[in-house]
Each structure stands twice: as structure tokens, then as C-alpha cells.
Amino acid sequence: MTLRHLLRRLLRDRRGAHAFEFVIISIIFFPVSFGILEVGMLLWTQNAMQNAATMAARCGAIGSADCPDVAAYAANSVGQWVVPDNIAKSDVTVTTGASCNGAPGKATIVIIAHRFWGSFTLPDPFSAPLITVSSCFPSAAS
């Protein structure tokens, strides 16, 4: 066998081509798939935090007996939707404002700020973004 014959035979051999193609595609496919999953988890966490802030602002504004400590109520509400005990009471700020979204009167304002907990594959600027949500509810005694 000559070198020319061996080279021609090597170029015609297709064994292992599928494995090589899988490697090429998976280099792009798997990081993009995991990135999409993480962005979904980030948006889910933000939505859970927003719902908890809205519920806590309403509970604090109407003076319900269910939430004597509005910050703890908000942190526990987030824990029911996301990872329990992930958001601490110190991540929640509860204030009383003079207006709610421009409407006059006294309002309860709840702000939750927390670093995202579940980033594994996102690059550095996006790996632990600060999620901040706020909600206000007019008080019954305006």
C-alpha cells in the first residue's frame, strides 16, 4: 500500500463522524440550554418575590392579624414559592409612604432586594444579579 492509497482510504472512512458532529453541536447546545433554564429560574424567582411583596404590602396596609411582622411575612411568602429560608427578613424593607403610585394618602411600601441564588452557567456579569422588587398598597386609614 502506498501513502496515496492510505490517504485516500482515510478520507473515505466515515466511522466516528457522528460522534465528532455530536461533540461540535453539544459544545453550543448544552450551554445555551442550561442558560435558558437559568434565565427561567431567575424570572420565576423574581415573580415569586414580586408576588410576596404585593401580598405583604396589602397585609401590612390593611393591618391584618396574619402578619404582625410584615418583613417576616414577606420572607416566609417567598420561601413558599422558591427555596425555603433563602431570603432573610433583613432583605425586606417595609416603609410607610405619603403616596402609592401617585395616589394621595398613606401607603405601605415593601421592597425586597436579594442576590439570585441559582446561577451555575451564566457568565460573570450575570452570575449573581441583584433582584429588587417593590410593591405598595394604600392604607385603610388614609
pLDDT at 24: 92
CB 91 within 8 A of CB 75: yes
Query: C-alpha angle 68/73/55, rounded to 5°?
Result: 105
Residue 84 CA to residue 86 CA, distance in Å, equals: 5
SS3 content of the chain, % helix, strand, coil (to 5): 50, 20, 25
Beta bridge partners of 133: 112
Residue 79 CA to residue 118 CA, distance in Å, equals: 14
Q: What value does the mean pLDDT take over residues 64-69?
A: 86
Q: Which pLDDT tens digit goes with each residue over 81-135? A: 887 778 888 899 999 887 787 777 788 999 999 888 776 666 676 677 888 999 9
CB 136 within 8 A of CB 123: no
Residue 66 CA to residue 68 CA, distance in Å, equals: 6
Nearest to 117 by CA among 134, 108, 130, 100: 130
Q: Which pLDDT tens digit goes with each residue over 23-51? A: 899 999 998 898 888 888 889 989 999 99
